[in-house]
Amino acid sequence: MTITHRLHHCLRSHDMVARLGGDEFTVLIEKIGAPAEATQVAERILDTLCKPFSLKGYTLFPSASIGIVIGSHSYQSATDLLRDADLAMYKAKSTGRACYALFTTDLHTRIYKVLQIESDLRRALEQQEFILHYQPIVSLSTGKLIGFEALLRWQHPQDGFIPPYEFIEISEETGFIIPLGEWVLREACRQLHTWHQAFPEQADLIVSVNLSSKQLREPRLIEQIDCILAETGLAGRFLKLELTESMLVDDVQTIIQTLVNIRAREIQLSIDDFGTGYSSLSYLPRFPINTIKIDRSFVSRMTSDTENLEIVRAITMLAQSIDIEVIAEGVETLEQLLQLKTIGCEFGQGYWFSKPLDSLSIQQTILAQTQWPLSETLGTQSSLLLG
Ligand code: C2E
Ligand code: MG
Ligand code: MG
């Protein structure tokens, strides 16, 4: 009642307000000269609506997201007009609280594109167009292979190889990451178990799988993991899940409970791209984390810039002091490798050791010879694998 009253207060007497259901209202403003007139009304509505009011002794602070569409002759029906107002409203919602957004053809194109990509992705999963590449993770004290990170690739029949940054975000947005992430987990566990059996002397290798924020919040995650481990025969201790700092911010208690459930299966947990998010080690002891991966941006600037070197050193020392292992990401040069060794960083991953490779190449090159030279005299190429 209060909301309707406030809405009327912002409009002219011949404008129309209708409640579509729940907390959705539609306002029809006729005879406007320019879009700016509509946005002025939206601002007025936000101003008025968002003022606190009392209900049954409580003070409420309402908020609203407004989608605006300007009618034109190209619209055939009221339903189309409402659909576009709805799209604009979702855009406003995604921008933040108390916002309005104007429908544009760009928005239509973008949403159409997202839907198109989503249906492409679903087809790709059915047609088995996704594959995993594996990048070695190496002990910097012994030069020995300790495991791999599984990295997703899309082999599109027309467009060729598509890297993850082109489809992971959209998969998150649309929720497709749930079935896709489940496929990644299953495939990585299946592959590692096969390698353990084929190379018994390598039966302690582990595989790291990137988990997205949606997956971590998916109530069925633990059930899915249990199923995958049972199906593939891989023991939990050989699996590591990579999270990012930003995933540990909201709803902390629920996240901690999920992480504790994961750890109860001896699955390890790693913080990926460390230093790019909250950059604070103080929150780490609250979470049952085994490893942090220092982001490539620090490692790549380490040799030219002493500040970065000190950051890497400080992160390594602090993490080790609370029993957390450290992996340096993006190790590309021997100089970086030697500095990391001096600092005492235990593990490294990067092009210096190997680029991510398909499973056959891993079998033929990496699993046949699993030790890297780590001293200056032994050369500067990752191709110099020691037998
Ligand atoms: P990430 O998890 O931090 O993975 C490391 C990325 O750095 C990989 O890129 C890898 O190819 C690249 N990289 C490794 N060593 C070097 C190096 O020495 N130099 C340089 N310049 N790059 C190096 P990639 O494979 O393109 O993956 C990018 C990101 O996509 C990943 O970052 C991860 O966040 C995401 N991603 C990949 N696979 C999956 C997946 O299965 N699920 C989810 N949710 N995300 C994934
Ligand atoms: Mg990762
Ligand atoms: Mg990373």
Amino acid at residue number 96: G
Give the pLDDT band of residue 384 (cuts 50, 70, 90).
Answer: very low
Residues 205 and 136: their CA atoms lie apart, in Å, by 10
Q: Which residues line ligand 1 (CB under 6 A)?
A: 135, 151-152, 163-165, 168, 181, 184, 210, 212, 242, 272-273, 296, 330-332, 349-351, 356
Is the pLDDT at 6 greater than 90? The verdict is no
Q: How high is the pLDDT of residue 260?
A: 98
Is the pLDDT at 161 greater than 60? The verdict is yes
- Secondary structure of 220-239 in the HEC alphabet? CHHHHHHHHHHHHCCCHHHE
Task: Write the pLDDT tens digit of every residue in 93-120.
Answer: 877 778 899 988 888 888 888 888 889 9
Nearest CA to ligand 1 atom 46: 210
Highest mean pLDDT among 45-59, 132-146, 270-284: 132-146
Closest atom of ligand 1 to 215 CA is: 44
Nearest CA to ligand 1 atom 34: 210
Closest atom of ligand 1 to 272 CA is: 3
- Ligand 1 pocket, mutate which of 137, 151, 381 (most atoms under 8 A from CB): 151
Q: Looking up tokens 């490893």, which residue turns up?
A: 291
CA 72 centroid distance within chain: 40
Residues 81 and 76: their CA atoms lie apart, in Å, by 8
Q: How many CA within 13 A on the CB side of residue 234?
A: 30
For β-strands 65-68 and 58-60, DSSP reports them as: unpaired
Q: Which has the closest alpha carbon to 209: 260, 268, 153, 149?
A: 149
Q: How high is the pLDDT of residue 198?
A: 95
Is the pLDDT at 175 greater than 70? The verdict is yes
Is the pLDDT at 187 greater than 80? The verdict is yes
Whole-number average pLDDT of the chain: 90
Task: Write the pLDDT tens digit of every residue in 140-149.
Answer: 999 999 999 9
Q: How high is the pLDDT of residue 279?
A: 57
Closest atom of ligand 1 to 211 CA is: 44
The encoded tokens of residue 177 equal 């990451």
Residues 289 and 164: their CA atoms lie apart, in Å, by 25
Ligand 2 centroid, distance to 385 Cα (angstroms): 24
Closest atom of ligand 1 to 332 CA is: 18
Q: How high is the pLDDT of residue 383?
A: 42
The dihedral through the CA atoms of 220, 221, 227, 231 has a sign that is: positive
Nearest CA to ligand 1 atom 20: 330
Is the pLDDT at 319 greater than 70? The verdict is yes
> What is the number of other CB atoms lying within 10 angstroms of the CB of residue 342?
11
Give the pLDDT band of residue 294 (cuts 50, 70, 90).
Answer: very high
- What does the chain come to in residues? 387
Ligand 3 centroid, distance to 273 Cα (angstroms): 4
Task: Write the pLDDT tens digit of every residue in 261-282.
Answer: 999 999 999 999 998 876 567 7
Residues 367-377: what's their mean pLDDT? 77
Higher per-residue pLDDT: 278 or 151? 151
Higher per-residue pLDDT: 61 or 377? 61
What are residue 101's DSSP bridge partners? 67
Q: How high is the pLDDT of residue 382?
A: 46
CB contact set of 14 (below 8 Å; sequence gap of 6+)? 30
Ligand 3 centroid, distance to 224 Cα (angstroms): 24
